[in-house]
């Protein structure tokens, strides 16, 4: 599932072609959207934004489209009338004078009065968006040490969208590695210095991924530009999806475990802490 950085990149791309543009035609592939087809046609897109992993499109008639990609959804932007060849199901198409923004395969799409969007059952449960400029290290420190969150394992906490919206599986592995903290540790177990470092790394790694197109490693832009697709996958992470490989820092073997029914990766040397039993490990 795309995480906060990827959704924000998609929002940027959509804003580039839709924001302040009139939607001449709306194509819908879900019965639930058909009543809004005429209401959205001819309207101006006033803003494209995202919150966590949800995409939000706002129109000048005070309606907003909520969508969540979940596992298979994908936005595609093409020149007008140049539809891609694909086996995916088109759920929503927004067509301007020059471009078509097409949402394929997603099923969680709805139209809301803009003033009631905060009542959406998913949005109302979300914590602050990790890429919102109002989220600072101090905000993260306050949340992670609050009574609501401080006694939960970091492995579980860093997947909880009510803690920080937009966090996800690769981000939690990478952030905890850079913070030097074992996934089974709880915020209540940590020193003030560790909490501060964790908060700083949470923002730094998330923004690095957003700005570099998915890298959490500190690879220069010139090197990234030369990477093939295979090199991209091999070099983008420090620990995530690197079970059995050597840690890029200490050469210890990267381990994989299951936490919150999701795979997590860590270095037992760089992230010393609670032991992960063999029973909790899972094969690749």
Indicate which residues carry an active-site annotation: 2-3, 53, 262
What residue ranges define each of the domains in the chain, with the CATH number in brackets? 4-125 (3.20.190.10), 137-280 (1.10.8.50)
For residue 282, the model assigns a pLDDT of 35
Residue corresponding to tokens 């998330």: 206
260-278 average pLDDT score: 79
For residue 82, the model assigns a pLDDT of 87
Report pLDDT digits (tens) over 72-98: 899 999 999 888 889 999 999 999 999
For residue 175, the model assigns a pLDDT of 98
For residue 276, the model assigns a pLDDT of 43
For residue 72, the model assigns a pLDDT of 87
pLDDT band at 29, cuts 50/70/90? very high
For residue 280, the model assigns a pLDDT of 39
Report pLDDT digits (tens) over 164-177: 999 999 999 999 99
226-246 average pLDDT score: 95
Report pLDDT digits (tens) over 104-139: 999 899 999 999 999 999 999 999 999 999 999 999
For residue 275, the model assigns a pLDDT of 43
For residue 260, the model assigns a pLDDT of 87
Report pLDDT digits (tens) over 176-207: 999 999 999 999 999 999 999 999 999 999 99
pLDDT band at 278, cuts 50/70/90? very low
């Amino acid at each position: 599932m795309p995480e906060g950085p990827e959704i924000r990149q998609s929002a940027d791309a959509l804003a580039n072609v839709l924001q302040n543009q009139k939607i001449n035609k709306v194509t819908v592939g879900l019965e639930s959207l058909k009543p809004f087809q005429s209401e959205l046609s001819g309207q101006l897109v006033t803003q494209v934004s995202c919150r966590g992993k949800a995409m939000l499109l706002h129109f000048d008639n005070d309606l907003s489209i909520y969508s969540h990609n979940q596992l298979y959804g994908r936005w595609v932007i093409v020149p007008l009338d140049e539809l891609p060849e694909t086996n995916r199901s088109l759920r929503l198409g927004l067509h301007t004078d020059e471009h078509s923004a097409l949402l394929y395969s997603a099923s969680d799409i709805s139209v809301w009065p803009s003033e009631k969007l905060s009542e959406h059952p998913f949005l109302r449960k979300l914590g602050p968006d990790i890429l919102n400029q109002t989220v600072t290290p101090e905000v993260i420190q306050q949340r992670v040490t609050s009574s609501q969150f401080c006694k939960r394992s970091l492995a579980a906490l860093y997947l909880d969208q009510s803690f920080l919206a937009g966090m996800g599986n690769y981000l939690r592995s990478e952030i905890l590695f850079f913070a030097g903290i074992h996934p089974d540790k709880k915020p209540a177990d940590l020193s003030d210095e560790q909490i501060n470092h964790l908060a700083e790394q949470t923002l730094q790694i998330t923004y690095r991924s957003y700005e570099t197109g998915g890298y959490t490693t500190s690879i220069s832009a010139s090197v990234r530009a030369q990477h093939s697709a295979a090199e991209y996958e091999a070099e983008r992470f420090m620990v995530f999806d690197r079970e059995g490989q050597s840690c890029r820092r200490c050469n210890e073997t990267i381990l994989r475990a299951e936490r919150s029914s999701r795979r997590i990766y860590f270095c037992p040397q760089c992230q010393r802490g609670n032991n992960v039993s063999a029973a909790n490990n899972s094969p690749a």
